[in-house]
Structure 1
Amino acid sequence: MQWMELTSDQLADARERADGVALIPVGSVERHGPHLPLGCDTLCAERIAARVAAIEPVVVLPVMAYTYVAQPMFQPGAIHIHSSLLLAFLTQVLDEVHRNGFGKIVLLHNHGGNIPMSQTILQHVLEEAKPYALYSIPPWAGVSLETVRETAEVGHACELETSLALALFPELVRMDLLGPQTYPAEAGLDVGAAQTPVDWIARYPNCATGRPQAASAEKGERLARLWVESVVETLRKVKRDTVVPAWMRRSREH
């Protein structure tokens, strides 16, 4: 059930069928190597969420495309939202979803750069003692990537992500622009155990990882199926969950 396709009067029935659970897919707008569209994360998140909703009743909100891409913004095409603004905006969206009667909200992520913000919003919701339960699903969580991939190095515009794109929106994939080049991690950054603000972009300045030439639509369909199955299983557990709502009530009583 797509929020944007429901009439105002249909929302209550959809909410009841979904057991009060809403799903927000979260992507990004950024470079994905020379061959994938800037909206790759967003398109994947949106289409996986639609497949999930076709199996398990849930109300899917419009995908969040403009998010945190501070490192990839060094490349053309990125649309970056400052972390403080993104936190405020996402909180407002969550509050509005709850105002419309949803007690449980799930974020379905498909951009690794949003993971720190995801942790922050989870903490923020607790600190603010929000009257709803928030759940966050990291990219590809619960998926056994070893059953799909052939190459050792994956992560971004790689064999796996390119395969997903070939399965979900093949008309936007430009395999002809790849050539023979591969994208191993660059070795210049060496700060021991320390983390830095540019860890990822310093290692992958082309915003691509490994050997995307190994991608195929068949692998993408397998990965999509596994991902959808994992999200469906998670949603069913979220619907049964009583622990998080109980702790959120305690936070409001504290």
Structure 2
Amino acid sequence: MRLAELSLSALEARFAEGRRSIILPLGSLEQHGAPGLIGTDTICAEAVADRAAARAGGVSAPVLAYGQAQFHLGRPGTASLRPSTLVAVLADILTSLALGGFSRVLLLTGHGGNIAPAQTAVQEVMAEISQGRLAPPHPLTVKLRAWWDGPRVAALRRDLYGEREGFHATPSEIALTMALHPQLAAPPGAWPAWHPLAADPLHDPGGDRHLDAARHRAMFPDGLIGSDPSLARPEHGHALLEAATADVADLFAAFEAAPDHPAR
């Protein structure tokens, strides 16, 4: 169920049963190649979070649709938060959830550029708790995962696309948008021809891309990073969505059921 669609009394009833966990999806607004949907990362994270919460009997928060994507600012439609802004926003959200009674938050990202700021935000909140400036009513635990990390969906991505999965505008995320929004999906023939990534001694395209927007666009002129979105099919998207939902639902259920570590 979605937090925004719960009443206060319904939420308090869940808390009375000891159900104090929530999934917070993290997205981004950025280019995904010329034919790709600009909101791909947000669409994917929200869909998996909502479905996993429903399957596990949990709660999902509204998606945070803006992320850290400064390296895509060389193209129209990208709207990026500064890393420090995303840290502050996430820290405020986590603080608010904790003070309001939630004790376990699963951050589910659809964008790799959110990972480092999200990790920093968690440490900011934990520092406030450790130093006594924040005293939530229950111990807070936060877990961070990407929707594509689980064992089922990772294996399916590998089987479907192999090395052509790449790192951005991947066929797996494009397939999810095809399944979720078939009327908006670009046909396979709309995508440029696939080309493997060239070795670059200065930058690792598969990791955090420490590049300004102009150099990023020069390195990846078609907006793709080692990916072949032409392989994406709606039926893949349905299978990937089911696999990711099952993975995240299992993760959330185990996260919620795990005992707290006692304070010393």
Deviations 1:1-27 (A, max 9, x none): 111111222221244567210110100
**1:213/1:176 CA distance change after superposition, 3 Å:** closer
SS state of the match for residue 210, structure 2? coil
Matches within 5 A, 1:1-254: 1-16=1-16, 19-129=19-129, 131=136, 132-142=140-150, 143-144=154-155, 145-149=157-161, 152-175=164-187, 178-186=190-198, 189-191=200-202, 197-198=210-211, 201=216, 203-209=219-225, 210-242=227-259, 245-246=260-261, 249-250=263-264
8 A Cα contact 1:23 1:105, kept in partner: yes
* CA root-mean-square deviation: 2.6
8 A Cα contact 1:23 1:108, kept in partner: yes
- By how many angstroms is 1:125 displaced? 2.9
Question: Aligned residues, how many?
Answer: 246
8 A Cα contact 1:25 1:61, kept in partner: yes
**1:192/1:66 CA distance change after superposition, 3 Å:** closer
- By how many angstroms is 1:66 displaced? 1.1
**1:16/1:36 CA distance change after superposition, 3 Å:** farther
Listed as ranges, the gaps of 5+ residues in structure 1 are: none
- Paired with 1:96 and 1:66, the residues of 2 have a C-alpha distance of 19
- By how many angstroms is 1:46 displaced? 1.0
- Paired with 1:138 and 1:30, the residues of 2 have a C-alpha distance of 17
8 A Cα contact 2:42 2:63, kept in partner: yes
- Paired with 1:128 and 1:154, the residues of 2 have a C-alpha distance of 38
**1:139/1:53 CA distance change after superposition, 3 Å:** closer
| TM-score normalised per structure 2 | 0.83
Listed as ranges, the gaps of 5+ residues in structure 2 are: none
**1:15/1:205 CA distance change after superposition, 3 Å:** farther
**Identity of matched residues, %:** 29
8 A Cα contact 2:87 2:118, kept in partner: no
- By how many angstroms is 1:161 displaced? 1.6
8 A Cα contact 2:203 2:209, kept in partner: no
- Paired with 2:180 and 2:41, the residues of 1 have a C-alpha distance of 11
**1:204/1:101 CA distance change after superposition, 3 Å:** same
8 A Cα contact 1:185 1:204, kept in partner: no
- By how many angstroms is 1:30 displaced? 0.3
**1:86/1:55 CA distance change after superposition, 3 Å:** same
